[in-house]
Structure 1
């Protein structure tokens, strides 16, 4: 089955070069040259992956990403002309799956594209089963209505905050969350940069759900960025 990519890049020479190469690699590429055009095309069709430049006219790439993440988990690979860790962290934190810094090689870009699409397909075919009342990831089952967690059939004694953190990751398996986003989602309050509260809750949660908390499998740390659900 042909995989369709939405390429969002305002530099038409780069867009043409990337589009032509990926087409030769067997992908169907639909191009957009500003954020508003990209949003319209996103709503009109379904895509297997989005290649997103951050510096876009009319609607910038970060705002575009925030809008689509409210409705879709389609893989997003950021094309960035800046190599700063802050920008990378921001992009991944808002729901991007990967990034590649300009200038890049076409071979590397195609490899990143294939890897991101493959990960998305693997997730959809994985052991994770979503039901109206339960979420199952590997050995852990979350009971949504009764606020319970079990591992291999045995109840895990979680606090309500720990349970909400685990649910956040189980419900969003491809998302990377910054500490600020975790705090907003779980505590539902403004975040003032107190990382210790997140660190303590994450450590206690890992002690309860991981076989080896020092080498966690369920919740992975992306240093300098945040956390994401592990792959099984």
Structure 2
């Protein structure tokens, strides 16, 4: 049975209920959303391995949501849409989607495509790059860049996309102190406000997942009054 997590985004409750039966039966963990805005909110809190997303939705459509997701996430995205014109498929694939399934669809075929993309994402992507680019190791902390997998002492750690991005930013800049302002503007791509404690909250959550004792961090160190860093290996 699978331990992977899928985000299903569609404003049709019938579609959600139908695919929920098939995906849960395959052992996937499932999150659901009815709009692009809701999907982005979930991605900010949960680690997701693959997204199945409709295009025509309220608040934010699938095209806009896909472009936003691709700013800092590499997991497979499958569009599931009634927009069957070739121009829509071309647009969907050109903005970062990995596949395009037209409604009405076969649930079994969609499950097969999900499995295929997850296999490619987790197993084949690492071979596309050299080991040095793909793996970041800091003592017993190992970060796999292309699969977005993290282990500590060979124990899998599940981070949200933002948590992963922050950890990777610090890991790739070992010995360099990163201010909260720099981290926020680099990861959120927005202007930092002095009263914003978002980075602090995310650092705390990362420490809770990767540190044996978050109060005495082994990896992410606080430089008081300046920011955070991961010490450079000697």
TM range (shorter): 0.5 to 0.7
Are 1:27 and 2:41 an aligned pair? no
SS of residue matched to 1:100: strand
- Partners in 2 of 1:130 and 1:70 — Cα distance? 24
The residue aligned with 1:4 is 5
Are 1:116 and 2:111 an aligned pair? no
Give 1:42 shift. 1.0
Give 1:121 shift. 1.1
The residue aligned with 1:36 is 37
**Residues 1-232 of structure 1 mapped to structure 2, 5 A cutoff:** 2-126=3-127, 128-129=129-130, 131=132
- Partners in 2 of 1:127 and 1:48 — Cα distance? 19
- Partners in 1 of 2:15 and 2:32 — Cα distance? 11
SS of residue matched to 2:127: coil
SS of residue matched to 2:32: strand
Give 1:23 shift. 0.5
SS of residue matched to 1:126: helix
SS of residue matched to 2:37: helix
TM-score, length-scaled by structure 2: 0.54
| Gap regions ≥5 residues in structure 1 | 133-232
Give 1:122 shift. 2.3
Give 1:131 shift. 4.3
Give 1:127 shift. 5.0
TM-score, length-scaled by structure 1: 0.55
Q: C-alpha root-mean-square deviation of aligned residues, in Å?
A: 1.4
SS of residue matched to 1:79: strand
Q: Which runs of 4+ in 1 moved over 2 A?
A: 122-125
Give 1:124 shift. 3.7
| Gap regions ≥5 residues in structure 2 | 134-234
Q: What is the number of residues matched between the two proteins?
A: 132
- Partners in 2 of 1:68 and 1:131 — Cα distance? 26
Provide closer, same or farther for how the CA distance between residues 130 and 88 of structure 1 changes in structure 2, counting only shifts above 3 A. Answer: farther
